[in-house]
Amino acid sequence: MNKLLIKGGTAVFADGCRECDILIEGKKIIKIAGNIGRDEAKGAAVIDACGMHVFPGLIDMHVHLREPGFEYKEDIASGSAAAVRGGFTQVCCMPNTQPVCDNAAVVGYIVARGKEVGLCKIRPIGAITKGEQGEQLAEIGKMKEAGAVAISDDGRPVSNARIMRLAMEYASDFGLICLSHCEDKDLADGGVVNEGYNSTLAGLKGIPRAAEEIMLAREIILAETLGKRAHICHVSTKGGVQLLREAKARGVQITAETCPHYFTLTDDIITSFDANTKVNPPVREAEDVEAIKAGLRDGTLDCIVTDHAPHHADEKNVEYNSAAFGISGIETSFSLSYTALVKGGVLSLEQLAERMSAAPARILNLEGGALKEGGVADIMIADLNEKYVIDSKKFVSKGKNTPFNGREVYGKVKYTIVDGAVKFAE
């Protein structure tokens, strides 16, 4: 059985950071100690992690891998390569593929392709409704048996409250959770940016915060009424954070995520008319950014995801109103989060690891999320002192669409280890 010794790094645990060695045998961590001698680690390959930090493998519970059907944007191979380069050992892919991932056959295909590629662990998310049409529930139990870890109609909100109620109840019966894209399409009314001063200045149709918050409130009410769990995708507004904070204080079983662009950007960026700034929900204003940070600090927002949405250049290199929504974010998420949140004094390293690893594992009942003896050897090693400039031309994702091109960040991923095997080494 293969052995790997991580020597001399500063490991990030839930209760603090400390220098230690980590010995891996096969797919498991078999020992964590201050110093593991050569005799004990005989035959092990060695990674010198001195001066670096060792994290549990990052878990992204909201990505778009595009396969099957949209491989010109991304496929499971390119998406997996981008994921391990970004420090992710597990990614959960949304069902808006072609055909839609709304049945066991498509779920099984994605699982099999992920294993065939063999980089990170691919966890499919099944659709809530057939064809993501919002009318009939998909075959939730069969998708669970095939490997689905959650259900969502992400990108196409479930507008019918009765259907969402049934989805929450059925998902609970199968040990799954609904991930809700909160958007009232009638209120959004074809908007492309945040509704406010900058949308007026740019002459671009705005999406009001209420379009997100009304649907978010509905999901809270349903979860509270039913006594079921629900999860809110990509929270972007101050009001949404407050609704979640109040719901959690009442004991509602609600969890939520946000993305790096919602705590690092304001809608000032849209006046450049660069379609790489177009994302749904849209980037909001400074008060929303501060509220998102506060929500991450106090745990109102449980986790950080990427909503990795790669597109072909031709879909972004068009007039703003016609451009596709989305940011290719899986290769920049850790560095942006570390720079803005840890160096920015919002979170500790332990809290960052919780938001990017432990919380997604807990919400979706996945293995991993922590460094512990006997636990799975899913690990990310980063040099937090290394500063670099984001260059989209160097992305291994097919999607180069990012508003962060040229931004200086800290925290370079050096190694990603999945099931005890090195899958990325810079």
**Separation between Cα atoms, residue 127 and residue 123, nearest integer Å:** 13
CB 29 within 8 A of CB 22: yes
What does the block give as tokens for 321?
């109103």
Q: Is 383 part of the annotated catalytic residue set?
A: no
Axis-axis angle for helices 238-249, 286-298 (nearest 10)? 30
Active-site residue, selected from the candidate residues 184, 307, 378, 419: 307
**Separation between Cα atoms, residue 218 and residue 167, nearest integer Å:** 14
* Burial class for 274, CB neighbours closer than 10 Å (0-12, 13-18, 19+): middle
**Separation between Cα atoms, residue 418 and residue 59, nearest integer Å:** 11
Peptide bond into 208 cis (omega under 30): no
Residues, the chain, total?
Answer: 426
Identify the CA nearest to 94 among candidates 234, 222, 230, 215. 234
User: Which distant-in-sequence residues (6+ apart) come within 8 Å of 135 by Cβ?
Assistant: 129, 160, 163
Residues with catalytic roles: 307
